[in-house]
Amino acid sequence: CLAFRRASSIPDPQAWVGRLQVGAGATGLLWGIGATVFLGLGDLPYQLFTVLVLSGVAAGAMTSYGAMWRGYIAFLAPFQALVELRLIFEHTPLHYPLAVINLLFVGVVLYSAFKTDRAFGKVLAITAENAKLTRALQYQATHDPLVDLVNRRELNTRLIDVADGAVIGKHSCALIFIDLDRFKEVNDQGGHAAGDEALRRVSLILK
């Protein structure tokens, strides 16, 4: 039920949502057709039992479609609409109250599905925010705030990874050192602000 994260190689999540709704609607329609058939096969106790079973199916489907409110509606609407029509068309004093009770049950499960959808949305929002904060903290811990390049600790970690990869893969690697000519003169004559600006501009070139 959860379609995420856009990328050039991944289809539009909305297309997956649309397919899910169509599939849920088709499934609900099939269940509704089956319900109308089974409700006409036996006496009243059999029909009551069938309605209970169908109510269980409707409630159980909420666990599958609970992450997406519209998907559950797409499943439940054709399913329970056909059940309601079948009960009403029996035209007996017992079937009318049964239809009303079933309709009330549908309202309850729809409300529960709505609350579940809201809860999923909150959990996903909190999870996404936590992931964003974690990435930000990780970036701050591994990058120098002045030049926005990796700091010494992260550089050492990456050098070890590169060296280990070269040993395992049996290939060579190279390390390039860059020295800024006359940087001390810039720093002494223009002050630390000028030196910092020079470092920032060099870091932009390196990126």
* pTM for this prediction: 0.58
The pLDDT score that the predictor gives to residue 5 is 42
Task: Render the burial of 96-112: b for 16+ CB within 10 Å, e for the rest.
Answer: eebbeebeebbeebbee
The pLDDT score that the predictor gives to residue 11 is 61
Distance (Å, whole) CA 13 – CA 184: 54
H helix count then E strand count, the chain: 6, 0
The pLDDT score that the predictor gives to residue 133 is 92
Nearest Cα residue to 110 out of 54, 78, 72, 83: 72
Distance (Å, whole) CA 128 – CA 113: 22
Distance (Å, whole) CA 119 – CA 117: 5
Identify the segments of the chain with pLDDT beneath 50.
Answer: 1-9
The pLDDT score that the predictor gives to residue 3 is 46
Residue 95, C-beta contacts closer than 8 angstroms, at least 6 positions apart: 47, 87, 88
Taking only the tens place, the pLDDT of each residue in 128-146 is 899 999 999 998 888 888 7
Distance (Å, whole) CA 129 – CA 39: 49
The pLDDT score that the predictor gives to residue 170 is 84
Residue ranges with strand state E in the chain: none
Domain boundaries, the chain: 13-136, 152-206
Which residue carries 């058939």 as its tokens?
Answer: 37
Distance (Å, whole) CA 38 – CA 25: 20
Taking only the tens place, the pLDDT of each residue in 90-132 is 778 888 888 888 888 888 888 888 888 888 888 888 988 999 9
